[in-house]
Amino acid sequence: MEAPTACATVSSIFVYPIKSCRGISVPSASISSTGFRWDRQWVVVNSKGRAYTQRVEPKLALVEPEFPREAFDEAWEPSCGSYLVLRAPGMDTLKVSLSKRYNILDGVSVWEWSGSAYDEGDEATNWFSEYLGKPSRLVRFNTENETRPVDSNYASGYETMFSDGYPFLLISQGSLDALNKLLKEPVPIDRFRPNILVEGCDPFAEDLWAEVKISGAKFHGVKLCSRCKVPTINQENAIAGDEPIKTLREFRSDEILRPTKKSQKKVYFGQNLVCEESRSSGKETSIRVGDPVYVIRKFSSHADAAA
């Protein structure tokens, strides 16, 4: 069997420690059982434990997390002096210990999932409550006692933490460039919050990637990413508009891409992935910027791709 040839290259890797807050661009990222290490490990919740997202709290886009530089190295473990540092407009800097465990908070929920989480303490509670202007708490996924499986209709045996639904989201630069040619004001990739950005392939080629290999790790494309209002929120000022969703609806709707399927009025941009190495307890696997992307298997059409 002929070896596959590289069809793209990893150009950027992003990790989003707190759900709906700003991401961190990193040169490499370790793959854990729930996605990239540190990705969506925290979430801000309301007084009832329900997750806040940019859909209802766009100001979260301006919360900027910072990790110790070495936190993304393989096998690094936090010490008592290791912190997640948070900054936001008009706020003092908040330092959240990466090693201390606070009380358990029950009844935390993200979409269909509910369970317990670590409460990050009163200082974080006061900080987010002041910033958002309403009762808020910062919580961390309880990795010792909780799991959050992905939708078994699309991928069985995989887990995530506080992401919307899947451990990884991949988008190509070609797709972004094709969209920006149609927009009066181009948008940056941060509007779409991918984990993996690749370059060198045709626009929207990733739609049909059923199986790809990056740095020895095997990823499966399990669901086209349907987009909510978050891409309409400017990540630099938290102001929402109607683009790019308005333009995407003209050529990326399910009616157009999947005309033989029942329309659910969805718009697609990007491919959700799971990684086989997430299920193994062996040697830790990482991917890096510059890694080639090999396509092992493709869907024959958008109608055959899950969505």
Predicted confidence at residue 280, as pLDDT, reads 76
pLDDT digits (tens, 9 = 90+) for 72-82: 988 899 999 99
Q: Which pLDDT does position 283 carry in this prediction?
A: 65
3 — pLDDT class (breaks 50, 70, 90):
low
For residue 195, the model assigns a pLDDT of 98
Give the pairing of strands 64-66 and 83-87. Answer: antiparallel
Residue 1 has pLDDT above 60, yes or no: no
| pLDDT, mean over the chain | 95
For position 282, what pLDDT does the model report? 59
Q: What pLDDT sits at residue 38?
A: 97
The average pLDDT across 234-251 equals 98
Q: What is the pLDDT of residue 73?
A: 87
pLDDT exceeds 80 at position 2: no
Q: What pLDDT shows up at residue 95? A: 98
Average pLDDT value for residue range 140-156: 96
What confidence tens digit (pLDDT) does each residue in 29-68 have? 999 999 999 999 999 999 999 999 999 999 999 999 999 9
Residue 149 pLDDT exceeds 90 = yes
Is 228 a residue whose pLDDT tops 60? yes
Domain extent listing, the chain: 6-15+151-298, 24-141
Residue 176 pLDDT: 98
Q: What is the pLDDT of residue 7?
A: 92
- Could you tell me how many residues make up the chain? 307
Q: Is 217 exposed, middle or buried (0-12, 13-18, 19+ CB in 10 A)?
A: middle
> Is the pLDDT assigned to residue 246 strictly greater than 80?
yes
The 10s digit of each residue's pLDDT in 257-306 is: 999 999 999 999 999 999 999 987 656 789 999 999 999 999 999 999 99
* CATH fold for the domain made of 6-15+151-298: M1 Pyruvate Kinase; Domain 3 (2.40.33)
The pLDDT, as a whole number, for residue 4 is 76
Q: pTM for the complete prediction?
A: 0.96
Are 83 and 76 spatial neighbours (Cβ–Cβ below 8 Å)? no
Give the pLDDT confidence score for residue 6 in this predicted structure. Answer: 86
Amino acid identity at 182: L
